[in-house]
């Protein structure tokens, strides 16, 4: 059953478990807990259903945390995006579904001393989730020319890559996944995992921002949330959910922000101290033929070079007005981009980072983010952009230019490489949409917040089941692994309860 601002839950509710956040992690863990017979209440800050319109301003208001205005400070400022609403980030992401690389999972299993995290042991959970959310390779019929340029380039260079696997079984290739899905073709978790949990008895209160945990001694016993009007943000009634288990799944920014706002973060260990972001930038190519970057599957192709495993280039998909902004050009150069807009293709270059970041909460409850780049990650960014230039040129572009201020146009990857040697980090247009690892699992309470079961080291009854639990950077889009690990954590909770 689903509740909103106008039809809320009673002001006091009892449950076996309360879950904060209705994104990939919260949906997956709730599906398992309700399926195991637990009475579960879920609190979600965003709206109860998709408020889709083909407008970034509209999406930012209803389906992005803090109105898409989160900005990290540190080495250089850049925006960080995170979703909200029933479906969370899966409402507004590109539906890309990678499994975490085997070497990363092997390192997790070793550091956690837990073989459940080995690739072969997680494979059945990945299989289960992929089947339920509709993961399949992108078809050439809906891919669009932008993605096909990348696929051809990867094939010509003999690199791993091509069309990606996505949870969008009804995709028609309209290219606006980041605003939401206009036809219901994306397998966002509101279309599957949340429905499963609701069928098993989940009570879901949307339009409700969690403000504090209820704590009895050293045990979490519930959550206090406050309703907010979805349009005006005016505060409404308070909802108190008392429960035997508290599962935080508000995302790798939302969860530590809540714990710091509540004043209990210091008691739980290094909460918010290991923010990783998969930061990146982009490169655009100019083709002689028309591409129409905004047509076809959103971010439907990728490239991977085993010689540069920390880099993951994948397609940029953007409407014409966003392309001009993303190009980093102004004045006459921006006018040239506008004339060429039908002929542009592009790759975004994502870094599997080792930088050092943090999450705190301001007095107003907004996230305070810091992030410091390390030189190794800057090198990967630049090398990855050179790799991306090679792919675009091999796939059909006649010239390329990095989305950085002061960057020129080049007809060879060597020209890009020479230019990037001296280009400072602050010249790049940087971006992140994959916050993670802010409440990591580990064996040592001094360096981790959770044990390998997702349970807090220093507070009984408290679990976390979002991308914040990752011990390290994935190097790939995180939504599928978030669902897989939340499923594993949920099953562990049921086993602990007998």
* 67 token code pair: 């109105």
Mean pLDDT for all residues in the chain: 96
pLDDT score recorded for residue 191: 97
Q: Residue 323 pLDDT more than 80? A: no
- Find the range with the poorest average confidence among 20-29, 52-61, 113-122, 442-451: 52-61
pLDDT of residue 336: 84
Domain 2-61+83-134+181-271+438-496 coded CATH 3.50.50.60: yes
Helix/strand/coil for 217:
coil
DSSP string, 323-349: HHHHTT--HHHHHHHHHHGGGEEEEEE
Condensed to tens digits (0 to 9), the pLDDT of residues 50-95 reads 998 888 888 999 999 999 999 999 999 999 999 999 999 999 999 9
Q: What are phi and psi of 103, to 5 degrees?
A: -65, -30
Strands 235-248 and 135-137: unpaired
The more confidently predicted of residues 42 and 318 is 42
Radius of gyration of the chain measured on its C-alpha atoms: 22
pLDDT at 494 over 90: yes
User: How sure is the predictor about 356, in pLDDT bands with cuts at 50, 70 and 90?
Assistant: confident
CA distances from 412 to 115, 119, 402, 481 (A): 46, 39, 12, 37
Closest CA to 413 of 379, 444, 374, 387: 387
Taking domain 136-168+279-427, whether its CATH number is 2.60.220 is answered by no
List pLDDT tens digits, range 148-194.
999 999 999 999 999 999 999 999 999 999 989 999 999 999 999 99
Whether pLDDT at 222 is above 90: yes
Answer yes or no: is pLDDT of 329 > 80: no
pLDDT for the residue numbered 330: 74
Helix (H, G, I), strand (E, B) or coil at 85: coil
Give catalytic residue positions: 434
Share of the chain above pLDDT 70, in %: 100
Residue range 95-116, pLDDT digits in tens: 999 999 999 999 999 999 999 9
Q: What b/e readout covers 121-146, taking b as 16+ CB neighbours within 10 angstroms?
A: ebeebbeebbebbbbeebeeebbbbb
Is 0.85 surpassed by the pTM of this model? yes
Q: Residue 223 — very low, low, confident or very high, per pLDDT cuts 50/70/90?
A: very high
- Would you kindly state where each structural domain of the chain is located, as residue ranges? 2-61+83-134+181-271+438-496, 136-168+279-427
């Amino acid at each position: 059953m689903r509740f909103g601002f106008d039809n809320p839950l009673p002001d006091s509710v009892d449950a076996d478990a309360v879950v904060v956040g209705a994104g990939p992690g919260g949906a997956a863990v709730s599906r398992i807990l309700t399926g195991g017979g637990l009475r579960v209440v879920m609190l979600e800050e965003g709206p109860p259903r998709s408020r889709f319109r083909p407008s970034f301003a509209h999406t930012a208001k209803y389906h992005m945390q803090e109105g898409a205005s989160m900005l990290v400070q540190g080495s250089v400022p850049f925006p960080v995006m995170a979703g909200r609403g029933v479906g969370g980030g899966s409402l507004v992401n590109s539906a890309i579904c990678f499994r975490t690389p085997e070497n990363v999972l092997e390192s997790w299993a070793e550091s956690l001393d837990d073989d459940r995290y080995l690739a072969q042991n997680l494979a059945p959970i990945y299989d289960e989730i992929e089947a339920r959310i509709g993961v399949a390779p992108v078809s050439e019929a809906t891919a669009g020319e932008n993605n096909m340029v990348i696929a051809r380039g990867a094939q010509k260079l003999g690199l791993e890559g091509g069309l990606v696997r996505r949870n969008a079984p009804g995709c028609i290739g309209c290219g606006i996944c980041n605003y939401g899905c206009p036809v219901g073709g994306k397998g966002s978790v509101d279309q599957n995992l949340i429905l499963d949990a609701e069928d098993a008895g989940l009570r879901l209160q949307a339009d409700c921002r969690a403000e504090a945990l209820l704590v009895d001694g050293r045990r979490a016993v519930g959550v206090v949330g406050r309703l907010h009007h979805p349009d005006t943000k005016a505060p409404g009634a308070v909802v108190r959910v008392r429960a035997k288990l508290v599962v935080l799944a508000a995302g790798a920014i939302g969860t530590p922000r809540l714990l710091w706002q509540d004043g209990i973060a210091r008691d739980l260990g290094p909460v918010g101290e290991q923010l990783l972001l998969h930061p990146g930038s982009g490169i655009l190519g100019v083709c002689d033929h028309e591409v129409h970057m905004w047509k076809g599957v959103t971010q439907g192709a990728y490239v991977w070079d085993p010689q540069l495993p920390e880099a993951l280039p994948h397609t940029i998909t953007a409407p014409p007005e966003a392309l001009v902004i993303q190009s980093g050009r102004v004045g006459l150069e921006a006018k040239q981009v506008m004339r060429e807009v039908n002929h542009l293709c592009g790759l975004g270059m994502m870094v599997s980072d080792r930088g050092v970041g943090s999450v705190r909460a301001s007095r107003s409850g907004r996230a305070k983010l810091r992030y410091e780049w390390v030189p190794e990650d800057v090198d990967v960014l630049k090398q990855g952009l050179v790799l991306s230039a090679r792919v675009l040129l091999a796939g059909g572009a006649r010239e390329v230019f990095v989305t950085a201020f002061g960057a020129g146009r080049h007809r060879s990857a060597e020209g890009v490489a020479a230019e990037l040697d001296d280009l400072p980090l602050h010249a790049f247009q940087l971006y992140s949409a994959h916050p993670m690892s802010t409440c990591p699992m580990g064996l040592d309470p001094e360096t981790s917040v959770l044990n390998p079961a997702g349970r807090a080291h220093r507070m009984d009854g408290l679990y976390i089941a979002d991308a914040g639990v990752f011990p390290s950077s994935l190097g790939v889009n995180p939504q599928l692994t978030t669902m897989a690990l939340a499923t594993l954590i949920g099953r562990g909770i049921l086993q602990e309860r007998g």
